Structure 1
Amino acid sequence: MTAALLALFGGLLFALALSWRRERRAHQSTLRALERERSAREREIGEQAAAQERERIYHDLHDDLGAKLLGLIHGATTPQQADQARALLQDLRDTVSRSRGTPGTLGDVLADIRSEARQRLAAAQMELNWVESGELPDPPLRSEQSLHLHRIVREAISNAIRHAQAASLRVRVACRGNELRLELTDDGHRRVGEGRGTQGMRQRAQELDGDIRWTEGTAGGTKVVLVFPLPAAAG
C-alpha cells in the first residue's frame, strides 16, 4: 500500500513538474514575442521620427532655396538663365516628392514630363512636338525610376535650350515589347562632347537598366535616344 502511494505521489510530482515546464516554456515564448514586438515598435517609432525630420529638412530647403530660385527666374536677363533656375527648382521639387514616396504610373510620369517640357520650351520661345506612337502600357514606376526619367529628359531639354540654340524640340515615345524608347531631337547646332550633364544622363540610364546614346538629328541638330525595360503592369 505504501509503495502504491509513493508511486502515485511520484506520478503526481512528475505531472506537476511537466506541467510547470510547459507553462514556463509558454511564458518564455510569450516574453520573447513581446520583446520582438517592443523592438519592432521602437524601430517603427525611430523610422517615423527620422522620416519626419527628413520631411522638415526638405520643407525648409524648398521654402528657402525655392524662394531664391524663383527670384532668379523672375530676375534673369536671358531665357537661358531663367531656364537654368527653373530646372534647378524642378530638381528640388523632385527631391521633395521622392522623399515622400509619391507613387505614379508611366502615364502619370510622361504627362508630368510633357507638361514641364511645354512650359520650359514656351518660356524659351521654342516649339514642342510631342508624339506617342501606338498605345503605350501604363505600369507603375518606382519613385527612383520616375526621378531618373525626369532628370534625363530635363537635362536633354536644358542642352537644347542653352547650347543648341534650337527653335523646336521633338519628343517621340514608343514601346517595343517590354522596352520604352524615348527620342528627343532638336533642330539646333550639333553638340559633341562629354560633360557632367551627359555623364549624369548615362549613369541614370544605367540605373534604369537601359541605354542612352547621342546621334545626329534629322534636322541637323542632336538626337538623344533612351531605351530601357519597363516593369510588368500591375494585375
Structure 2
Amino acid sequence: MWQAQCMPSLDDWRRPKPTPRQRRIDLVIGLVVVATALLYVMLARSVGQIIWGVERSAFEHLAFSFAVTFPLIWRRSHPDVVLIVTAVVFIAGQVREAQEIQFASGAIFAAIYSAGAWSSDHGRSRWLRFGVIGAMFGWLAITWLISFDGIPSDAFADGTGELPPLLSALISQVLLNMAVFGFAFFFGEIAWQSARREAVLVDQAEQLRQARTVAEEQAVVTERLRIARELHDVVAHHVSVMGIQAAAARRAMDRNAGTARDSLTAVEESARTAVDELQRMLGALRTADEPVTAPSPGLDRVEELLDRVRDAGLTPQFAVFGEVKDLPASTSQTAYRVVQEAVTNALKHAGASTIDVRIRYLARELEIDVADDGRGAARTTGGMGLVGMRERVGLLGGTVEAANRNGDSGGFRVRSRLPLAIPAQRVAS
C-alpha cells in the first residue's frame, strides 16, 4: 500500500534544472542582452563618452562587454559557474579600466540572483554568493586605496554638504553596492523559497491524489465484501430452504398431495422473500436519489426465520434471556445474520433434526447462541458463510466461536458476542 513520503528539509531540497523551454528563453534573452550591451559600448564611444577616462581599443571594450553578458545564457542551467565567470570578468574589466559599468552591473546582479534562485545546492550557492559579494567589496576597497593619492585637490570643489566630501563619496559607493548586491541576494532567496513551496504543494497534491485513490480502492473492496456477505446470506439461506422443501414435495407427491402442496407453497414463499431482499440490495446499489424501500431484517424477525425452518422439517427452539434492550440497527441486523447463517449451515450440511437459538442480553454484550444436533465435524473448517459472519461481527467489535458441541449429542454450535455500545472508531457495514 502506498504511504505518504515526507518532504525533504530546506537544506536537502534540490531545485530541478530548467526545462527545455526555459533554456530556449534564456538563450534568446541572453543574446538580446549581449547585442544591446555591445551596441551601448559603440554608442558611448561614438559620442566621446570614454569609459574610465582611459582610451582603450574598441576591441577590448567590446570584448569585456561581451564576456560579462554572454554567460547569462546559462544563468539557470549553470548558475554557480555563471556567477564565478561573471564576477571574474567584471573585476578583470575594472582592473583594465575597460569595463562598461551599466550592463556589467546588471549582469553581476542577474548572476547573483540566478545563483540564489536556481542553484541545485542552495547551501553551497549561499556561501558562493557571500564570497563573490565579499570579493566585490574587497575590490572596491582596493580601488579606493589605489586611487586615493590620485584624487585632485579640487575634485570636490562644488560640494555643498555638511559631511567631508571624500567620506561622503566612500559611503555612497558602499551603500549603492550594498543595495545592488543585497537586493540580488534577497530576491534570489525569495525565488528559491517560492519554488520550493510550489514543489511542496505539488508533492502534497500528489499525496492527496494517491491517498484518495487508495481510499477509493478500499471503499470498493469494502463494498464488494458487504455485497458478497449480503448475497450469501440471502441466497444461501432461501435457496437451502427451497431445496429442502422441493425435495420434500417430490417425495410426498405420490403419497400425500396436501403435504406436497404445503412444501411447494413454502418454496414459493422462500423464493418471493429472496427476490424481495435481492431487490432491496439492488436498490441500495442505485443512485442516492432512489431510496431503499425495505430495511434489512433484525432480531425482531428471527421468529419468522425459524418458522420457515420449521416448514423445512427442522424443529427450532427459541428463547430470549435477560432484559430486552433497544439495539442499534447495525447490531440487530448483524445478530439476525448470525442466526440466519447458522441455520443455513444446519440445513445445508448438518443433517440436523433440531436447532436451538438463544439470545442473551448481558450487561455489556449481546450473545447469540445457535446449536444443532447434526454432524458437527463436517463443518469445523467453516466456509464463506462463516468468513462473512466473522467479518460482520468484527466490524462491530464482536467475536464469533464456531465449533463442534461437547458431549454425546454431537452437533455444531455458533456463539457470537456483540458489544451493546459500538466502539466509535468502528464503522458498521
Per the normalisation by structure 1, the TM-score is: 0.55
**Mapping for residues 178-197 of structure 1, pairs under 5 Å:** 178-184=364-370, 191=374, 194-197=376-379
Structure 1, gaps ≥5 residues long: 102-106
- Percent of pairs with identical residues: 15
Measure how far apart 1:28 and its partner are: 0.9
Match of 1:214 in 2: 405
Distance (whole Å) between structure 1 residues aligned to residue 422 and residue 217 of structure 2: 34
3-state DSSP of counterpart to 1:131: strand
What is residue 104 of structure 1 aligned with on the other side? none
SS of 2:417's equivalent? strand
Rounded to whole Å, the distance in 2 between the matches of 1:223 and 1:46 is 37
Moved more, 5-14 or 29-38: 29-38
TM-score by length of 2: 0.35
Answer whether contact 2:369 2:415 (CA < 8 A) is retained: yes
> Is 1:152 matched up with 2:342?
yes
- Map residues 12-27 of structure 1 onto 2, 5 A cutoff: 12-27=183-198
Equivalent of residue 33 in structure 1, options 179, 187, 204: 204
User: Distance in 2 between the 1:171 and 1:51 partners?
Assistant: 30
Q: Which runs of 5+ in 2 are unaligned?
A: 1-171, 252-262, 286-295, 425-429
- How many angstroms apart in 1 are the aligned matches of 2:218 and 2:414? 40
Q: What residue is the counterpart of 1:120 in the other structure?
A: 309
SS in 2 for 1:163: coil
Q: Is the 8 A contact 2:376 2:411 kept in 1?
A: no
Change (3 A) 1:127 1:46: closer
**Deviations for 1:150-193, whole angstroms, at most 9, x for unmatched residues?**
42343246578x432x4xx553211223333334467xxx55x5
* Aligned AA (1:124): G
**Deviations, residues 40-62 of structure 1 (Å, cap 9, x unaligned):** 4555666677789x69x97xx99
Q: Of the candidates 409, 417, 421, which is equivalent to residue 228 of structure 1? A: 417
Q: Distance in 2 between matches of 1:20 and 1:118?
A: 78
Aligned match for 2:299, one of 84, 100, 110: 110
Aligned with residue 77 of structure 1, among 218, 243, 247: 247
Aligned in 2, Cα 1:226/1:45: closer, same or farther, shift over 3 Å? closer
RMSD: 5.4
Aligned partner of 2:378: which letter? R
Superposed, 1:34-113 pairs within 5 Å as 34-43=205-214, 69=239, 73=243, 76-78=246-248, 109-113=298-302
Deviates more, 1:19-28 or 1:171-180: 171-180
Q: Which residue in the other structure is 2:139 paired with?
A: none
Cα 1:125/1:27, change in 2 over 3 Å: closer
State the SS of the aligned residue for 2:382: helix
Change (3 A) 1:43 1:9: same
Q: 1:9: Cα distance to partner?
A: 0.7
